Structure 1
Amino acid sequence: MALPKETQRLVADPAPGISAAPHDDNLRYFDVSITGPDGSPFQGGVFRLELYLPEEYPMSPPKVRFLTKIYHPNIDKLGRICLDILKDKWSPALQIRTVLLSIQALLSAPNPDDPLATDVAKHYKENEAAAKAVSREWTEKYAQ
């Protein structure tokens, strides 16, 4: 399994604001934390995620979900993430690092036009300032 090399790189050279560590007993499971990007409503928060590499990896995408509650149009109550590279745009050339950077970027740029949490997306579309205020509140409440 080509996993350890990618895992070593991820641990040795983490992307800014992202840490990922495999479980000792199962190298397919990772504990991930992503800090909310500066200038986003998630700034100052540290979000915990879990990442799992299925048997088919890298031919199929990793499974990633938020464990920290977050108010975001592309992340549902169960922590599932609506991101093209986790679904139909996946390529074996992509790496865990790329996936985590894309999730971090999604925090900076919510896409209410491709929502997973339709109520949050509706809020973002109708009153972005108010929706961002709720995102900030949830960040302070759940991610600090």
Structure 2
Amino acid sequence: MTELQSALLLRRQLAELNKNPVEGFSAGLIDDNDLSRWEVLIIGPPDTLYEGGVFKAHLTFPKAYPLRPPKMKFITEIWHPKVDKNGDVCISVLHEPGEDKYGYEKPEERWLPIHTVETLMIGVISMLADPNGDSPANVDAA
């Protein structure tokens, strides 16, 4: 996939999210001239510790997107087992595709090119709703 194809895909995904918003988050570009850096606002899911909160995060897409996953970092401070102290999100779907050298994750749990920003964000909202303390990025939060 070329850098141009990647940019076109990101533009299409952003347009789709603006046309058909998904409950629980919104997304936009940090800089209108850079499709590789997005800002997302996540609404804390109901009936969770995060309910009522609005959490800002940045997505940074590699030139090889969607063959490679984006990176996600919370800008708003958040206390969660899968978010390290720098705000970096560590969940399976954000890990490079293929076999896990430690044997912890199945390949289908990791990044796949069929994922979109929407599927990723639904996964992050699910992570907030159901914190999993296994293999934490923030041991204290676990």
TM-score range, shorter chain: 0.7 to 0.9
Structure 2 residue 89 is the aligned partner of structure 1 residue 68: no
Partner of 1:20: 27
Contact 1:82 1:114 in 2 (8 A): no
Amino acid across the alignment from 2:119: T
Partner of 1:85: 93
Runs of 4 or more, structure 1, over 2 Å off, are none
Segment of structure 1 superposing worse, 20-29 or 35-44: 20-29
Q: Distance in 2 between matches of 1:14 and 1:115?
A: 31
What is the percentage of aligned positions where both structures have the same residue? 36
Q: Distance in 1 between matches of 2:113 and 2:23?
A: 23
Q: Distance in 2 between matches of 1:34 and 1:24?
A: 20
2:57 to 46, 49, 58: 49
Contact 1:62 1:96 in 2 (8 A): no
Segment of structure 1 superposing worse, 112-121 or 2-11: 2-11
What TM-score, normalized by structure 1, do the two folds share?
A: 0.81
Structure 2 residue 40 is the aligned partner of structure 1 residue 32: yes
Q: How far does residue 14 in structure 1 lie from its aligned partner after superposition?
A: 1.9
Query: What's the RMSD between the two structures over aligned residues?
Result: 1.0
Q: Distance in 2 between matches of 1:21 and 1:39?
A: 27
Q: Distance in 2 between matches of 1:50 and 1:38?
A: 22
Q: Distance in 2 between matches of 1:41 and 1:9?
A: 30
Q: Could you say which structure has the greater relative contact order, defined with CA pairs below 8 angstroms and 6 or more residues apart?
A: 1
Q: How far does residue 52 in structure 1 lie from its aligned partner after superposition?
A: 1.2
Partner of 1:103: 124
* Richer in helix (by share): 1
Q: Distance in 1 between matches of 2:45 and 2:10?
A: 28
SS at match of 2:77: coil
Structure 2: gaps (5+ residues): 97-109
Amino acid across the alignment from 1:58: P
The number of equivalent residue pairs is 121
